Amino acid sequence: MNRISWDKYFMAQSELLALRSTCTRLAVGATIVRDKRIIAGGYNGSIAGGVHCIDEGCYVIDNHCVRTIHAEMNALLQCAKFGVATEGADIYVTHFPCLQCCKAVIQAGIKTVYYANDYKNHPYAVELFKQAGISMIQVISKEVILDAKQEEKQLFVQSLVSMLKKTTDKKEMKIIEEKAEELFLMETSKTSSF
């Protein structure tokens, strides 16, 4: 079994955090990491104990939901609240940071911004990141889906593939095996279980 890369692992954490978002306009998650250790996480939502967009709708002014605290800000504020230094850390965000979050990330001393999706990438935010010497790296990865029946499904597909081997020609069988391996994020190899 191949392990996912650190970048994909931390981005998966951000994708998981985004599932907690309470803003209906866009679900965003952010994970702050230092020395390959998660030090904080955040998602976009309302203030603690406040009304949420999912309950009463977004409060939009100038095309921005002002009810929502962005994921990056929530993660940075979590560090501030608990006295965790952000200098030299990295941040993994499901979407490219807005201009305001960009400035907060710079001021917090973050050294690298990893993002999964382009989202209204503001040219001035890009310029500010460059001025501050902050790397911007897009992490392309398949969405991570947590599935309690993953192993059971894999065993079932393995048994189906084994049965098909008896009646299917080699060329067609190779296509089926490759598709099964792709579905279960396995590398094609001689030691394949299919």
What residues does 73 pair with on adjacent strands? none
Put residue 77 in one of left, alpha, beta given phi > 0 → left and psi -120 to 50 → alpha: alpha
Tokens of 95: 């979407």
- Per the annotation, the verdict on 127 as an active-site residue is no
CA distances 173 to 3, 4, 159, 161, Å, are 27, 27, 14, 8
Q: 15, 72, 87, 152: which one is catalytic? A: 72
Token reading at 164: 């098909």
Looking at residue 179, its amino acid is: K
3-class secondary-structure state, position 135: strand
Place of tokens 């049965």: 163
Ranges of H-type helices in 19-149: 53-56, 71-82, 99-107, 123-131
Residues with catalytic function: 72
